[in-house]
Each structure stands twice: as C-alpha cells, then as structure tokens.
C-alpha cells in the first residue's frame, strides 16, 4: 500500500469519560463470506418487508400517471396548470440526480468512508427515468420557440421551433445512459456475486449481467477506470441537464429574467439535495433493512459535513445572484425581485430560505448533531423540504406567466399565486412514489450496499491501538 | 491441449506465495492470474498487470460527436443564413450547446461500448472458477499445457492451497 491514513476514532483508556461522548465507536470488521451472504439475502423481498411498500408505491405511482394523463386531456395547452408538475420534476431531478455525485466525488478522491454509500447513491440516478416520463407532459405544454409569429427569448438563437423540447429529451436520455453505465460499472462484480450465491431468476439475471466476470486482475483494473470515466461523464452531463432544465423550463418563460448564475445555483442546490436524500436512504437502510453492521457513524459524519458545506454554498450562490438585481435597479432587475422574491410567492420564499439554508445551517453547525444518525437525518429532511419549496417558488411562478405576455421586455403585472389542485397533489405524490419505487425495486435486484465495496472497506481498514487510544488504520491502494 | 488449474486460498499471503512458486517453476508472466472477490491493491500478489486502452473510447467518441455537431450546426446555419442580433452566421456561442451535448452523448455511448470490450466481457469461456471467490477466497489460476499441469499443481499445493480444481 502506497500510503496510510490514521484516523482518531475511539475512546482512550485514561480519558474514557468525555472522549467516549466526543468520539464514535470504531466499526467492527466483518468477514467477507458474512458480507456476501447477508447482502445477497437483503435482496429478498420477504426478508425486509419491502414488498408491501413496493405495492403501495407502485399503486400510487400508477394513480399519479393516470391522473397526469387525465390532466393532459383536460388541461391541454393551459401552461399555468402545469407549474406544480414542473416544480415536482425539477425537485425530483434535483434530489435523485444529485445523489450519485455523493458517490462519484469521494470515490475519485479515494475516500474510504464512501465505499458502503456508493451503491445507494448511484441507484438514485435511476429516478431520472421517472423524471423523463413526467417531462413528457411538460414538453407538450412548453411554448414553442416562435409564439405569435415572433421568436421568444431563449438560449436557442437560431434553432428549430422545437429546440428546447428536443434537447431537453436528448439531454435526459444522455443522463439516463450515463446513469445506467455508472450503475452497471459499479455493479458488475455484484452481479457475479448474485450469480454465485443467489437462486432462481436473480441467479439467472446475475449470470447474464455478469458476462463471465471472475475477478481477474484486468477486470478489476478496468472496473476502477470505468467507474472513474462513467462518473466523470455523469457529472458533466448532470451539470448540462441542469443548465437545460433551469433555462428552458423556468428562466426563459419569465420575460426579463436573465440570470447567468441560476443554472449553477440549480446544480449546487441539487448536490445539496442529493447529499440529503443519500443520508435519508442510509438512515432508512440502517433502521429498516438491518444494515447497521455496514453503515457507521463515519458515513453520516462525512456526508453531514458535506451537507453543511453545501448549505452554506446555497447562501453564497443566492446572494451572488440577488446582489446583481438589488444594485441593478433596472426594470427587469426590479421585476425579478418583485415577482420571484417579494411577489405572490413571498412566504414560499421565506419558508424555502428557512428550510434550505437557515435552519440546516444552525442545525448542522453543531458537531454533536453531525456525529449522530438521527441528527444528520433531521438536517437532511429540512434540506429536502427547503429544496422542494425553492423549486415551487421558481417553477410555479415561471409557468404561471401567460403565453401571450412572453414577448414583453419584462413583466409589469404579475400573475397571482397559483395553488395546487387535487390533480396536482396526485401527480406530485405519484411522481415522488415513482422515484422511490424505482430505487426500491433496484434494491431487489442488487444489494443496497455494494458487496465488493463493503469487502474492500474491510480489507483496507484495521482498528489498531495507537499509544493510549484506538484509531482506524486505512490503506490507500493507489 | 491446454488445461486450466485453480488453487484456492483463504490467506492472501499464501496466494502471493503461490504466484511466486509459479514464477519459480518457470511459467511465463501472463499465463497465470489471481481471482478475487474484491480488488486488492495492484501488485499485492506480485501479479502481472496487463495494459488496457479504455481511455481511447471516450476520446474517440467525443471527437466523432464533436465533428458531427460541427457539421450539423454549420450546415444548418449555412443552409438557412439568417443574421440574428448582428452576429456572424457561424457563431460559436450559438453552436456551443449542441457541440457539447453531441460530444458528451457520443463519448458516453462509446465509453459504455469500451467498458464491455476492454473488460474482456462477455467472457464466454471463463475457465475454471469457484463460487467461493466472491465470499472472500482467493484463486490462483493458470492455463498451461497438459504435460506441465502437474508442475503447476505441485507449485500451488506447495503454497498451501486448500483445494485444487481443474478444467
């Protein structure tokens, strides 16, 4: 091993009182055969009571799709009626699309704590499929580039009339391809484990997907490379899709809204939400799927610190955009503040800021909170609610602007607040259920924690005595 | 006629010894390999690390996608020469989004193809294998001529193999 890292981790003999509270227990090592058998068994629907949840989520998803189809027939062409669907799609894409970056960045940085986390974070990207399905009614209701004989303002200067519609789909398909590639790259050795130790259709499926994987030197070497490559491609595509979604499905619908920072703001809050959903998923896996042996405080602590950092970054990106409008004082600048901040969604904005930034900031700032399972999970819940409110404020307001005013230089009269109707509620709950369903269904095929990653975590980690304390000794292979 | 021989070990040090024993018995590098259920640090067993060309796939794909995007955007703008905002007909900034997206799409697809090819997958004839490798056992596998297989088995046994399998 090229280098070693020593992490302080447990209580000292001499100062067991305060240090025991301040530090966490070192993870116990688990034998590889136990890891394989337990994680393979965790894919059994009966073992964890997941089947009932999948039925409920599946039915809610189908009801949501049915209501969405009915809404499409009833409210075809009425753009303002689709604001909450747009907000939900943007929210779900932000949450589940951002999660894989939790796996990608620390993996590329060769962090050891991320190994048990990477699989769940990568699986979240499957929800992009649900988001793409729900984008179809939005694409059908998105105004054409040429409205009433004139080209509306957009990033598509000379493109065909359907450029935003077409490229939104192409970019989402690219993201889904990258997501599937990333998941497959991570999962190939686990398909081999399913082939070797599972039964029935899972064994056959594992055998087919493993493609003859036997764990040779070249196979492991290319595994690391393809995870790196697919991770990088996912990251680049992720940023690009945020650029497309935020500009075409929000900014270009509001006359006078021109904000170069908004796509980055959108992506940053997505990473913040991705961290939050990863924490909640791991918390649920520990509590309800018996994964407490493999998920330790180290994972929650590390993600908690990242969540805190991205919470502060949200404030930075928001104020960077806000300050331009605040000092600009042109008609369009004042419109941005009056409509999107102080206007009909003022209280949504206030609540959004409270939940996405202020409350998580003052919650996650405490070491004791970040060093606890429940504390980080509560912080994650606050952030997710805040991101949802933020997307409602931005997307409902954008879709509420009537199509016949899209050529105005900037809005002078602001549409009144749009509240969700019953169909919106069904669609939002159905879309959320669909994303959770897809991720949960994937954990019936692949273990929620990667077998080979958890084995490698144990391979490279040793709890050792260091002077009068105990520390984690972690080997870094490259 | 060639034969595959697999020695199974529960201790990684024994597997490393088996690799040394095979080298010592005169088997050339590349004819034997180590099979594991989790990636050990490269070179931990003294194994031969083969080269790969995976990085070429995304680069090649991106070049193809970029070239196609240049052709698409330039050809459409030249075919319909509409001056917008006083900018040149071939405006780079108007082309950037499509150049980026098509380069990425092509790079992603070619990387997925490259993953399949460079992983030597599908491996239709994986040779001798044991399911317990994904449970933590370490396999040392060698493919050799029939007449040298006894020498290989002796070397694997000398390192403390818990089981020998042949195919």
Percentage with pLDDT > 70 across chain A = 93
Mean pLDDT of A350-359: 95
**The pair of three-digit structure tokens given for residue A70, joined into one six-digit string:** 């009915």
- Helix then strand then coil, in percent of chain A rounded to 5, is 70, 5, 25
Give the tens place of pLDDT for each residue, B7-43. Answer: 999 999 999 999 999 988 888 888 888 999 988 888 8
Q: Where are the beta strands (DSSP E) in A114-206?
A: 146-147, 150-151
In the predicted structure, residue A85 carries a pLDDT above the cut 80: yes
| Residue B138 bridge partners (DSSP) | B9
**By CA distance, what is B72's nearest residue in A?**
A159
Q: Shortest Cα distance from B25 to chain A (angstroms)?
A: 21
Greater confidence (A2 vs A250) lies with A250
Greater confidence (B40 vs A67) lies with A67
Mean pLDDT rounded to a whole number for chain A: 87
Q: Cα–Cα distance between B11 and A227 in angstroms, integer?
A: 28
**The pair of three-digit structure tokens given for residue A457, joined into one six-digit string:** 């975590």
Do B45 and B98 fall into the same domain? no
First to last CA, chain A: 7
Q: Which range of residues forms the domain containing residue B31? A: 2-50+128-166
Greater confidence (B91 vs A59) lies with A59
Do B139 and B101 fall into the same domain? no
pLDDT at B94: 77
Domain ranges of chain A: 37-469
Strands B163-166 and B138-145: unpaired
Report chain B residues whose CB lies below 8 A from the CB of A185. Answer: 115
Query: How many CB pairs below 8 Å do chains A and B form together?
Result: 172
Mean pLDDT of B106-135: 79
Residue A23 pLDDT grade (very low, low, confident, very high; cuts 50, 70, 90): low
Q: Which CATH number fits the domain that encloses residue B21?
A: 3.30.70.120
- 3-state secondary structure string across A429-470: HHHHHHHHHHHHHHCCCCCCCCHHHHHHHHHCEEEEEECCEE
Do B38 and B69 fall into the same domain? no
For A181, which DSSP code? Answer: H
In the predicted structure, residue A150 carries a pLDDT above the cut 80: yes
A217/B47 CB distance under 8 A: yes
Complete edge-to-edge strand list for the sheet that includes strand B163-166: B32-35, B138-145, B2-9, B163-166
pLDDT at B112: 78
pLDDT at A398: 94
Q: Is residue B123 situated within a structural domain?
A: no
Residue B140 pLDDT grade (very low, low, confident, very high; cuts 50, 70, 90): very high
Cα–Cα–Cα angle for A21, A25, A29, rounded to 5 degrees: 180
pLDDT at A129: 93
Do B65 and B109 fall into the same domain? yes
A139-153, A272-286, B83-97: least confident range: B83-97
pLDDT at A20: 42
A237/B116 CB distance under 8 A: no
Classify residue B19 as left (phi > 0), alpha (psi -120 to 50) or beta: alpha
A14-28, A101-115, A317-331, B101-115: least confident range: A14-28
Residue B47 pLDDT grade (very low, low, confident, very high; cuts 50, 70, 90): confident
In the predicted structure, residue A4 carries a pLDDT above the cut 50: no
Give the tens place of pLDDT for each residue, A417-468. Answer: 999 999 999 999 999 999 999 999 999 999 999 999 899 888 888 888 888 8
Closest to A29 measured CA to CA, from A443, A372, A464: A464
Closest to A356 measured CA to CA, from A454, A463, A268, A249: A268
pLDDT at A404: 84
In the predicted structure, residue A133 carries a pLDDT above the cut 60: yes
Is-contact A233 A181, C-beta < 8 A?
yes
- Helix then strand then coil, in percent of chain B rounded to 5, is 50, 15, 35
> What ipTM score was computed for the predicted complex, to two decimals?
0.75
| Residue A476 bridge partners (DSSP) | A3
**By CA distance, what is A186's nearest residue in B?**
B115
Residue A47 pLDDT grade (very low, low, confident, very high; cuts 50, 70, 90): low
A452 → closest Cβ in B38, B101, B109? B38
In the predicted structure, residue A350 carries a pLDDT above the cut 90: yes
Is-contact A294 A30, C-beta < 8 A?
yes
Greater confidence (A410 vs A385) lies with A385
Closest to A284 measured CA to CA, from A20, A1, A50: A50
Residue B51 pLDDT grade (very low, low, confident, very high; cuts 50, 70, 90): confident
Do B21 and B37 fall into the same domain? yes
Single pTM value for the model: 0.85
Report chain B residues whose CB lies below 8 A from the CB of A214. Answer: 35, 123, 126-127, 129, 133
A17-31, A32-46, A407-421, A432-446: least confident range: A17-31
B84 → closest Cβ in A32, A157, A240? A157
Question: Residue A472: enclosing H or E segment and its boundaries?
Answer: strand A469-476
Residue for token pair 């294998």: B129
Q: Shortest Cα distance from B2 to chain A (angstroms)?
A: 19
Closest to A202 measured CA to CA, from A43, A35, A37: A43
Do B88 and B41 fall into the same domain? no
pLDDT at A168: 92
Do B159 and B132 fall into the same domain? yes
Percentage with pLDDT > 90 across chain A = 53
Give the Cβ contact number of residue A418 at 10 Å: 18
A193/B116 CB distance under 8 A: no
Do B77 and B95 fall into the same domain? yes
B111/A233 CB distance under 8 A: yes
Give the tens place of pLDDT for each residue, A310-330. Answer: 999 999 999 999 999 988 889
Largest CA distance in chain A: 81
Mean pLDDT of B43-53: 79
A28-42, A178-192, A368-382: least confident range: A28-42
Give the Cβ contact number of residue B42 at 10 Å: 15
In the predicted structure, residue A3 carries a pLDDT above the cut 60: no
pLDDT at A16: 42
Q: What is the DSSP string of A372-431?
A: SHHHHHHHHHHHHHHHHHHHIIIIIHHHTS-GGGTTSSS-SSPPPPP---HHHHHHHHHH
Residue A8 pLDDT grade (very low, low, confident, very high; cuts 50, 70, 90): very low
Domain count, chain B: 2
Question: Residue B124: enclosing H or E segment and its boundaries?
Answer: none
Do B15 and B43 fall into the same domain? yes
């Amino acid at each position: 091993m090229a280098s070693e890292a020593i992490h302080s981790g447990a209580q000292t003999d001499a100062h067991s009182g305060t240090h025991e509270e301040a530090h966490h227990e070192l993870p116990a090592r688990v034998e590889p055969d136990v890891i394989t058998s337990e994680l393979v068994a965790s894919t059994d629907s009966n073992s964890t009571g997941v089947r009932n949840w999948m039925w409920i989520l599946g039915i809610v998803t189908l009801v949501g799709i049915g209501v969405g189809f009915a809404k499409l027939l009833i409210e075809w062409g009425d753009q303002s009626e689709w604001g909450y669907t747009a907000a939900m799609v943007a929210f779900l894409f932000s949450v589940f699309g951002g999660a894989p970056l939790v796996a990608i960045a620390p993996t590329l940085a060769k962090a050891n704590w991320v190994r048990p986390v990477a699989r769940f974070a990568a699986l979240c990207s499957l929800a992009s499929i649900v988001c793409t399905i729900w984008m179809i009614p939005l694409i059908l209701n998105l105004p054409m580039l040429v409205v009433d004989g004139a080209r509306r303002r957009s990033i598509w200067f000379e493109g065909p009339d359907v450029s935003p519609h077409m490229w939104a789909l192409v970019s989402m398909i690219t993201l889904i391809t990258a997501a599937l590639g990333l998941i497959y790259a991570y999962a190939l050795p686990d398909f081999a484990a399913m082939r070797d130790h599972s039964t029935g259709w899972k064994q056959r499926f594992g055998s087919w997907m493993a493609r003859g994987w036997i764990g040779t030197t070249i196979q492991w070497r290319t595994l690391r490379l393809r995870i790196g490559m697919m991770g990088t491609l996912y990251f680049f595509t992720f940023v690009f899709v945020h650029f497309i979604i935020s500009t075409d499905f929000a900014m270009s619908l509001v006359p006078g809204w021109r904000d170069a920072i908004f796509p980055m703001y959108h992506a940053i809050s997505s990473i913040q939400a991705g961290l939050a959903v990863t924490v909640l998923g791991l918390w649920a896996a520990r509590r309800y799927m018996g994964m407490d042996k493999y998920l330790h405080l180290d994972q929650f602590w590390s993600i908690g610190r990242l969540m805190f950092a991205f919470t502060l970054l949200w404030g930075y990106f928001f104020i960077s955009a806000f300050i331009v409008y605040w000092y600009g004082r042109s008609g369009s600048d004042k419109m941005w503040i009056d409509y999107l901040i102080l206007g009909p969604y003022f209280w949504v904005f206030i609540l959004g800021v409270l939940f996405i930034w202020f409350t998580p900031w003052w919650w996650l700032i405490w070491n004791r909170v970040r060093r606890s399972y429940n504390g980080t999970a509560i912080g994650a819940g606050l952030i997710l609610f805040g991101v949802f409110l933020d997307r409602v404020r931005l997307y409902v307001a954008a879709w509420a602007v009537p199509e016949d005013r899209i050529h105005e230089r900037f809005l002078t009269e602001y549409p009144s607040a749009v509240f969700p109707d019953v169909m919106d509620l069904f669609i939002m709950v159905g879309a959320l259920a669909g994303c959770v369903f897809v991720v949960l269904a994937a954990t019936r095929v692949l273990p929620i924690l990667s077998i080979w990653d958890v084995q490698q975590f144990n391979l490279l980690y040793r709890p050792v005595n260091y002077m009068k304390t105990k520390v984690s000794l972690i080997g870094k292979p490259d | 006629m060639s034969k595959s021989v697999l020695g199974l070990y529960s201790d990684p040090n024994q597997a490393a010894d088996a690799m040394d024993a095979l080298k010592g018995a005169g088997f050339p590098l590349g004819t034997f390999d180590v099979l594991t259920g989790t990636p050990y640090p490269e070179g931990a067993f003294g194994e031969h690390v083969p080269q790969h060309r995976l990085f070429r796939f995304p680069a090649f794909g991106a070049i193809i996608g970029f070239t196609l995007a240049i052709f698409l955007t330039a050809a459409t703008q030249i075919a319909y020469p509409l001056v917008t905002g006083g900018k040149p007909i071939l405006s780079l900034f108007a082309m950037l989004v499509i150049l980026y997206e098509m380069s990425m799409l092509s790079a992603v697809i070619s990387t997925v193809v490259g993953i399949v090819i460079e992983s030597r997958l599908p491996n239709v004839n994986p040779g001798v294998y044991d399911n317990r490798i994904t449970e933590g056992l370490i396999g040392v596998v060698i493919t050799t001529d029939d007449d040298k297989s006894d020498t290989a088995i002796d070397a694997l046994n000398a390192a403390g193999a818990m089981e020998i399998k042949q195919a």
